[in-house]
Structure 1
Amino acid sequence: MFLAEARLATLLQHQNIATVHDVGQGPEGLFLVMELVDGWDLGVLLRSAALRGVRFLRTGRLHRPSGPGGARPCLPEGA
């Protein structure tokens, strides 16, 4: 299922979606090669906000690549 969905993701092209460059299976398991997106680590932002007493309403799901720092919000330049 991972490979099928990842291959479909290679067809997506939009300014708000990180590009998937390659997907496959190697000797050590499955892999996914994505565009490196410059931005802040979402976990760091959320922890920093929590320390300041800011609360967020959770209304949906966040899809992110596996691994630390995978989710990165896209913020306007200068924000």
Structure 2
Amino acid sequence: MRTYILTALIGAGLSAPAWAASNIDANGDGMMTLEEVQAVYPEITAETFATMDADQSGALDEDEAAAAMDAGLMPKS
């Protein structure tokens, strides 16, 4: 029973960035633009978004969103 609970908790933690990304990515293209992020988290500024956008592509991929959440730049949803 403990193993099941631990596995469920770990799985829930690992899926948080994917869940957040799917809720933010309004057009379903797999990327999160500043506008999409601000629609969910209006407190995120363009400057903060630029910090989260590691490859400076103008959009966050799932890895960048996960890193931003881990760094405390974006709330974990």
TM class by smaller structure: under 0.3
Given the two structures, how large is their TM-score scaled by the length of structure 1?
0.21
Structure with bigger helix share is 2
Higher normalized contact order (CA 8 Å, seq sep 6+, divided by chain length): 2
Structure with larger Rg: 1
